[in-house]
């Protein structure tokens, strides 16, 4: 007969720390199957999760209950590469500059989504949701409003890169293509309805866009 209680606290704690998740974030990812106080007790081994809660936690961490049991019984066991891949936060535009300079998960708003990028995230990589249609084009590269872009703050922008940054003040955050013509630099939208802007020395890049994610549901991008 299958046991209805499981000892998975060590594995849950390791995986939560690896992803930078708070107790509340982990509970949210598990679909509200448990509360932070109970999750803390599970990690400490003072409380045991039921079958349904263990299953919900396994889904939240993209693994199985059997894998969590094995990891908890073998603390030195390394996580499989696919499972140890770190997710990155979908940061609000207003926090993008702050996050690029100091990626501290504790300061993110409650309910901030964490998603897997298409490549292994280098350090402080983060994601943003495209806020307008300035980077949408009828042909070639296009970033529709509502799509998610992945920003690498460790890369130095080069001509033709897609960059996120601001002109003069962080309040002027923008996402454009960096163009260089001789000694002059410009920010160009892919949408021809938006003018190209000469930036001289007033532009501060906070990262280079390395990938995009677009999820379609009922004909809409979300």
Contacts of residue 2, defined as CB under 8 A and 6 or more positions apart, other chains included, come to 51
Query: Both tokens of residue 92?
Result: 């609000």
pLDDT in tens, 104-140: 777 788 777 878 787 766 567 899 999 999 999 888 7
What is the average pLDDT score of the chain? 83
Delineate the domains of the chain, giving CATH numbers in brackets: 9-84 (1.10.260.40), 88-221 (2.10.109.10)
For 168-175, what is the mean pLDDT? Answer: 88
pLDDT in tens, 25-43: 899 988 888 999 999 999 9
pTM score: 0.63
- Residue whose token pair is 């983060």: 126
Class of residue 182 by CB neighbours under 10 A (exposed 0-12, middle 13-18, buried 19+): exposed
Query: Both tokens of residue 193?
Result: 């309805």
Instruction: State the pLDDT at residue 89.
Output: 85
For 162-185, what is the mean pLDDT? Answer: 91
């Amino acid at each position: 007969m299958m046991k209805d209680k499981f000892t998975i606290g060590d594995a849950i704690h390791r995986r939560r720390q690896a992803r930078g998740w708070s107790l509340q974030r982990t509970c949210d990812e598990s679909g509200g199957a448990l509360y932070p106080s109970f999750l803390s007790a599970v990690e400490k081994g003072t409380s045991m999760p039921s079958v349904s809660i263990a299953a919900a936690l396994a889904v939240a961490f993209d693994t199985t209950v059997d894998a969590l049991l094995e990891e908890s019984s073998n603390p030195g066991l390394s996580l499989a590469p696919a499972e140890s891949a770190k997710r990155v936060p979908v940061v609000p535009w207003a926090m993008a500059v702050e996050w690029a300079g100091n990626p501290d998960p504790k300061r993110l708003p409650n309910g901030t989504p964490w998603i897997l990028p298409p490549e292994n995230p280098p350090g402080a990589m983060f994601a943003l949701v495209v806020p307008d249609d300035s980077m949408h084009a009828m042909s070639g590269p296009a970033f529709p409003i509502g799509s998610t872009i992945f920003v690498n703050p460790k890369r130095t922008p080069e001509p033709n890169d897609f960059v996120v940054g601001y002109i003069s003040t962080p309040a002027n955050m923008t996402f454009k293509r960096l163009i260089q013509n001789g000694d002059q630099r410009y920010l160009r939208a892919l949408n021809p309805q938006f003018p190209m802007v000469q930036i001289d020395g007033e532009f501060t890049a906070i990262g280079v866009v390395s990938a995009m994610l677009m999820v379609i549901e009922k004909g809409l991008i979300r």
